[in-house]
Amino acid sequence: MRQSYCLESKSKMFRDALRNCEDVADSNVNVMILGESGTGKDVAARYIHACSDRWDKPFVVVNCSAYPDTLLESELFGHEQGAFTGATRAREGRFEQADTGTLFIDEIGDVSLSTQVKLLRAIETKQIERIGANQSQQVEFRLISATNKDPFTEVRAGRMREDFLYRISTIVIRIPALRERPEDIEDLVRYFLRRSQAEFRREITSIAPKVWDFLMRYSYPGNLREMKNIVDRMVVLSEGGVIDERGLPILYDVTPTEPAAERPHFTTILSWKEFKRQSEADYLRWVLEQTGHNVTEASRRLGISARQLFNKISDYGLR
């Protein structure tokens, strides 16, 4: 069953997450998977399904961020012919497609409050009603959801119903970011190199030391998805089987970070208040870059609330 790249790991944190996936697989409880974008939450969901007794049943995915709210309801519940303009024929929704199997609702933090009410009823009763239908039908499914947002922050902000959160998160599994599992970076880079060579029919014979050093020390704010894209581009841009600095897109800098000079360079004297303001703004900008502009993760690592961080972002005019 372990067919995916991120299911073998030297990281205890990631192995613990996998073990949690295995432990909950045969139960029928609702599972919420948390993690930054690109960490492989969808892979974890598929792994739970593969380890369960539903492994040979449908695994149905719906990404809530891909649909406006009006279309998401139809995507989830289906509709009858003539239910709305453009509904020229009846269509089953994802709940029906997942009957006897697993329904994976990705980016569930993007669901509107009104849709949350309808989802809550369907999850509690295992009954759904197509748009335009007069009667409900029974469906039997296992629910796994995922989000890159902090659900408790969403509840406090009024964007997620508390009863909805508790219903979908009987078990919560967090997938660590790539920067939290540096011991896996080398194996993952080599995996993506092998896969890219096969996909693009290129043979890589050597990688410049500076490029390899960059790959090992880079923080990968976009996680596995970003790593794959970097490796794919380098393989495509390689010449004669060699990946050198020219193969690395200009968005990335292979120059190692040099230690700061003992005596910093200043051009003008600022008030102490203004100096602290500029320094804090620069530091927050750097932290946001390191966390892929994920405010929830940045606030967690800074030890302040998301609201405090939002206020500082606004105060300093950061984007």
CATH 1.10.10 segments of the chain = 272-315
CATH 1.10.8.60 segments of the chain = 181-247
* pLDDT greater at residue 87 or residue 290: 290
CATH level 2 (architecture), domain 272-315: Orthogonal Bundle (1.10)
Kindly report the CATH class assigned to 181-247. mainly alpha
Please name which of 37, 110, 100 lies closest in space to residue 71, comparing C-alpha atoms: 110
pLDDT digits (tens, 9 = 90+) for 215-228: 998 889 899 999 99
* pLDDT greater at residue 266 or residue 154: 154
**pLDDT at residue 135 in the model:** 83
* Average pLDDT of the segment spanning 276-285: 82
> Is the pTM value of this prediction over 0.85?
no
The percent of residues in the chain predicted with pLDDT above 70, rounded, is 88
pLDDT digits (tens, 9 = 90+) for 92-117: 889 999 999 999 999 999 999 999 99
CATH 3.40.50.300 segments of the chain = 5-176
Kindly report the CATH class assigned to 5-176. alpha beta
Between the CA of residue 172 and those of 17, 68, 92, 99, what are the distances in Å? 10, 26, 29, 23
pLDDT digits (tens, 9 = 90+) for 261-272: 444 555 566 677
